[in-house]
Structures are given as structure tokens and as C-alpha cells.
Structure 1
């Protein structure tokens, strides 16, 4: 399932979303935005861990019909009365399917544990949606790209 802490990208910085007013309507809008199927849960209270960056959004209010999460109402970016113990989460019914996209642009990212990686995470960044983008790995606390030399579809399907 697509599940985890909700984070959004602003000014090249990932930040969390506060769980004030966070519920199933907001989760439905986010799952639709990410292409991850219907929303199953809208957990709060940092169920998926506390974020470390800024808290970008608070008092997010959606109708639940939005296909673009950023059409939901919210306080001014960065304005909040929260702490990271109130980070919002989401559980969507869909399965993430990692894929490469030749047309990279800013968008959501997906981080997954990397089996034999000493740093433990791989993510897709700057793609058109959650399941497409540039492959990056976390090494010694910093994200870096993966060289495409020798990269083919069999590598992408791992």
C-alpha cells in the first residue's frame, strides 16, 4: 500500500503537513493526487514518524473530490500552530509501482527501504507523480542521484 507521512515540496525543501483538520476528505484528495487508489486511513499524531524539516501546511481542508491536492484550502505556507508530533499521514489502497519517466519535473516523491543499502533509503524525486522520477539514494545523510550508465528496464523493475 501507499502509506506514510505526508510531505510536500516548497522552495526545494520537503516539509510536513499538520494533522489539524486532517481527515478522510483530505486523504482522499491526496491519494487521488498521487494516483495511489482510494484512501483507507488518515492517521495523525505522527504515526509514520516525526518530520525533520519545516511544517509547510496546516488546517488543510478538502472536499474529497479534488484530483489535485494543492487545490485544497490551507493556511499560508509555513504558517502553523503545530509541532512534528502532529504530522499527518495517509494510507491509500493502491500499490506503489516504481517506474522511470523521461520527462522529469517537480512533483511528489516516494521513499522506500533499500534492502542492502547501508543508508537504507531509495526515492524517486522530481517526477510527474509519486511513482515516477529520478532515482536517488540516501548516503551518509545526503540524497544523491544514480548514474544512468548501464541502467535499463530490468534495473527499474527491481
Structure 2
């Protein structure tokens, strides 16, 4: 969802080779409802995986025996997060029934988990501690530098945009470097471009409180771009 005041408001776009808006005709509130979510984690990109059935409109957990790395890649992509970094049962607490009855057989390229093929056999139970717990990487990257830990900071929340560079310090930058598995920040630079463009502003107090990057963003226009090492 892009162009709105938060990640849950805006124009609906889907990426199948390129980002395009979705035609409105024939839509209703049921069709617009989320089909997957991660619950019990620190934000959008971590938690216990739950899937909503189109028939019953009920949320169900997924057994880790019916889920693999390729399935996790699809989930993280559908949620707008980075690649999966942790996949382990009971990571985000135990769960009672219901369980999702069929295993997923994703190729890893699908845009949505429910687009994946399902196994023919059905499962009615799952061993304790075996519900899928998943952590996706934050949708954060550094581009244009000599290594993956150097360059212009960009965040993806519907689209990749640079981050406003105004008033950053090394303490705040350290949090982003940890998300990138790059250690501590060595240097930051507020680079002025010739004209304003769409950027993300990251709210420092939100970020340093431990919230996910995606929960600390607001949309803005600026010519001040953050470069980070």
C-alpha cells in the first residue's frame, strides 16, 4: 500500500515483475482482508505464522513439518519484509488448535503464500512446539557503496526509497547497522541532492525503543539523503 499515512493505508499495488496498481472492479472487504500474518513478535516481520482460510475466515497456525525455506521466502516477500533469517518452531510461543491442514509447496517465486501449491494429504494435529515461528529481515539495504555495508540507506515499505539524512548520529545509525548485520556504524553523511524527492523519515525515538524499522517510518520529501558506513 503506497501513498497513505501508514503501511495499512494507500493505493494497492502488486509486483509481478513490476509494481502495478490493482483494478478496483469487483472488490469487497472480504477480498481485501489479509491472508497471512506473523503474531507475537516485535513487529510486522517476526512472529508465529498464521494463515486465514477463505472459506471459514478463521486464522490457523502452520506446522513446521509442512513448511520450508522456500515457503518462508514467499511469506517474507508477501509481507514486504526482507529475506527470512530465522525459521524455527515455538520461537514465538505455543499455540492451541486450529492448525492449517495442508502443507505448502512453494517454489520461492510466488507473490503470495496462498498462490503456492498444497500437498494432497491433510494434517489434523501438530506436535507441541512445532508451529512455525519466522523472523524476516527488515527491508533495509545500503546501495551504491563498495560493499553491502556501505552506501545510501534505503528502506522498502511498498517501494524502495532513501532515508532523510537530517539530524542523524552514530548511535541511531548503529541500530540500522545491526539490522544489516554490519556491526557498528563508522561514519554517516548527510548528502544534499540538487532537488527534493520522496524519502522515508525514520523516527529516532521509535527506532531506539526497539520497534521494527517498518513501524518507525513516515513519508516525506527531502533533498537530504543519508549515506552510511
User: Normalized against structure 2, the TM-score is what?
Assistant: 0.37
For residues 121 and 100 of structure 2, what CA distance do their matches in structure 1 show? 5
1:15 and 2:60 aligned: yes
For residues 20 and 37 of structure 1, what CA distance do their matches in structure 2 show? 23
For residues 76 and 53 of structure 1, what CA distance do their matches in structure 2 show? 21
Higher alpha-carbon Rg: 2
Change (3 A) 1:94 1:57: farther
Change (3 A) 1:63 1:81: same
1:1-158, aligned counterparts within 5 Å? 2-10=45-53, 11-44=56-89, 46-75=90-119, 79-94=123-138
For residues 52 and 16 of structure 1, what CA distance do their matches in structure 2 show? 9
Q: 2:77 is paired with a residue of what secondary structure?
A: helix
* Distance apart, 1:85 and its partner CA: 2.2
- The question of whether the paired residues in 2 share the 8 Å contact of 1:57 and 1:74 is answered with no
For residues 51 and 136 of structure 2, what CA distance do their matches in structure 1 show? 17
Greater per-residue strand proportion: 2
Counterpart residue number, 2:182: none
* Residues paired across the two proteins, number: 99
Which runs of at least 4 in structure 1 moved beyond 6 Å after TM superposition?
none
Q: Which runs of 5+ in 1 are unaligned?
A: 100-130, 132-152, 154-158
User: Normalized against structure 1, the TM-score is what?
Assistant: 0.52
